[in-house]
Structure 1
Amino acid sequence: MPTEIFSDAENQLIDECFAFAKALVKDAGELVKEGYSKSNDDMGIVEKEAKWDMVTDYDKKTEAFLIGAISARYPDHKFIAEESEATNSALTDNPTWIIDPIDGTNNFIRHIPFVAISVAFVWKREICLGIVYNPILNDFYSARLGTGAYLNGKQIHCNKLEKLEDATLGHEVSFLRVQKHRERNAKQVLAFASAAQGFRSFGSCCISLTFVARGTLDGYQISELYAWDIAAAVLLIREAGGYCCKPDGSPIDLMDPKIICGATKELCDALVKLNKEALGL
């Protein structure tokens, strides 16, 4: 148990938040399932920045439900959330919830079942709690700092794989659609896919990271992110025995969330080296 960072009273509050959040996220999953069952005409789809960046009424409804319930119970807590710009702020030492109501919105719109609700609780800049829930496939991931990572109540672990040539890796090839990101992502995709045993793209950062935590993938790299894309899943990977860092090998920064993760430290280091070589760094 991570008792050195937090007092007994603070650890008790974290445990209370964990129990509360697990029940709340499962309730939020009902909203996501409702939206998933709708036709595109009934989802309330809106284009944000471009054709590749969409939002639906259910993204907004789910986030409002989560923030409303947490605020009612913990009125002094802060939020960093995808669809509520008024809640977004710099990360501080204050108790903060980091929320992505539907990660994989394009999958959601296309009725591809790789979608997830992601909720993390960060205090003193430490990720204390992480929950990622795919209500379509009923995959409920949860982690409490220092106590392991779980899928539907069963403890999960990253693979103990060290060699790049034996690994199955993940990346989001959809970023090739975005001109300002295209060249860098093309170099990364070519390098990672050429070096690994297998290469996959699932259209959801949260889902891909949970796959590393459960041993379905061995590593993952992506840069075009926000805190809500990675916060909960980073804790899952760490608690499952894996490693996460920035692409240059430095520690993860939730407010500058570029990420490379690997099932082992050796594999993570190999991915960092490969990424630097691909980009000529």
Structure 2
Amino acid sequence: MSSLNLHPMLNVAVKAARAAGKIINSAALDLEAVRISQKQVNDFVTEVDHAAEKAIIETLMAAYPGHGILAEESGTEHGAKDSEYVWIIDPLDGTTNFIHGFPFYCVSIALSVKGRLEQAVVYDPTRNDLFTATKGRGAYMNERRIRVSKRVRMNECILSTGFPFRPGDNFKNYLRMMADVMPLAAGLRRPGAAALDLAYVAAGFSDGFFETGLSPWDMAAGALLITEAGGLVGNFTGESDFLEHKECLAANPRIYGQLVGLLGKYSKFASAGEKAALRQAPDAVEPPLEPASPAGAAAAAQPASSDDAPL
């Protein structure tokens, strides 16, 4: 699938994503010079987010001035207000990672036509990995077709998630979710950029993903990548119309069904019976450890054996 075969609108989105990626990579060379501000506690935005978003919007508007825009930093202030074509943009998903030089962040661009996702680009500027999808044409990474994983047993699966980080998030619920999922899976990962997490599920690098508190620009492009790669995506109860629900669950079809069974009760769209069962469940948080006995304290104070000693 060469760039010549891309849908024209997807071609423009790729051009926009690469322009943003160039800005991000340039800024990453001197992170100490990047100006950072805080939208709310633990929710950061940088001048790089704004510059990348500006580059994306300028590229899209030059090609399609009659289209609408929904962007993380500028909302709907750009583009046509009543168009059936709406570009959904996250210029830098994983800003906190970027600020720290932790190399897991991406650009996410999707096109919605009459409410249906039609085009998707997720671009990882650190690795120069380009994920693309057009409705009905499959999903690709660096021009090679990708598919979701074929694993069917949860104990063989790596799942990714995003921990709650904002004031008011339901931390206790998330601990319960992890207590339900972690013993059953081969591993749980928290890379820190939902759009790239979803792209990795589409590529089969991980087997499933779940997170709450997400916005449409976090999910839109990744959602189309997953469905075009043969996977399923929805909210925790399995509803496919989820972009405004602030929760996302994605996986290959067999694992998706198992995750809905595990996590559906945590959804704000769960049935009254499911919510009642959750309220009656004991907290997943472990009780504090009992104070060590004198013998235990003495043992803890002993020097480590040579096998445990630091090198």
TMscore range, shorter length = 0.7 to 0.9
- Could you say which structure has the larger radius of gyration? 2
**Amino acid of the residue matched to residue 31 of structure 1?**
I
Q: Percent identity?
A: 29
1:30 counterpart = 2:22:
yes
Match of residue 49 from structure 1: 40
CA contact (8 A) 2:180 2:262 kept: yes
**Amino acid of the residue matched to residue 93 of structure 2?**
D
**Amino acid of the residue matched to residue 259 of structure 2?**
L
Match of residue 57 from structure 2: 67
TM norm structure 1: 0.88
**Amino acid of the residue matched to residue 125 of structure 1?**
G
Match of residue 185 from structure 2: 196
1:232 pairs, out of 212, 218, 221, with 221
Match of residue 16 from structure 1: 8
Match of residue 137 from structure 1: 127
How far apart, CA to CA, are the structure 1 residues paired with 2:204 and 2:245? 26
CA contact (8 A) 1:116 1:132 kept: yes
Q: How many residues align?
A: 263
CA contact (8 A) 2:19 2:55 kept: no
Match of residue 207 from structure 2: 218
Superposition RMSD on alpha carbons, in Å? 2.0
The alpha-carbon distance between structure 1 residues 87 and 162, as it changes in their structure 2 partners (threshold 3 A), is farther
Q: State the Cα distance separating 1:267 from its structure 2 match.
A: 1.2
CA contact (8 A) 2:162 2:192 kept: yes
Structure showing the higher helix proportion among its residues = 1
Q: State the Cα distance separating 1:18 from its structure 2 match.
A: 1.2
How far apart, CA to CA, are the structure 1 residues paired with 2:29 and 2:57? 23
Structure 1 gaps, min length 5:
1-13
Structure 2 gaps, min length 5:
1-5, 268-273, 276-311
**Amino acid of the residue matched to residue 274 of structure 1?**
L
Match of residue 285 from structure 2: none
CA contact (8 A) 2:112 2:118 kept: yes
Q: State the Cα distance separating 1:278 from its structure 2 match.
A: 6.2
SS in 2 for 1:147: coil
Which digits, 9 at most, give the CA deviation of each residue in 1:30-58, with x for residues without a partner?
A: 00101111223x111001111x1000000
Match of residue 263 from structure 2: 275
2:31 pairs, out of 23, 32, 39, with 39
The alpha-carbon distance between structure 1 residues 229 and 196, as it changes in their structure 2 partners (threshold 3 A), is same
Q: State the Cα distance separating 1:277 from its structure 2 match.
A: 5.1
Match of residue 235 from structure 2: 246
How far apart, CA to CA, are the structure 2 residues paired with 1:176 and 1:27? 30
How far apart, CA to CA, are the structure 1 residues paired with 2:241 and 2:181? 20
CA contact (8 A) 2:237 2:265 kept: no
Match of residue 284 from structure 2: none
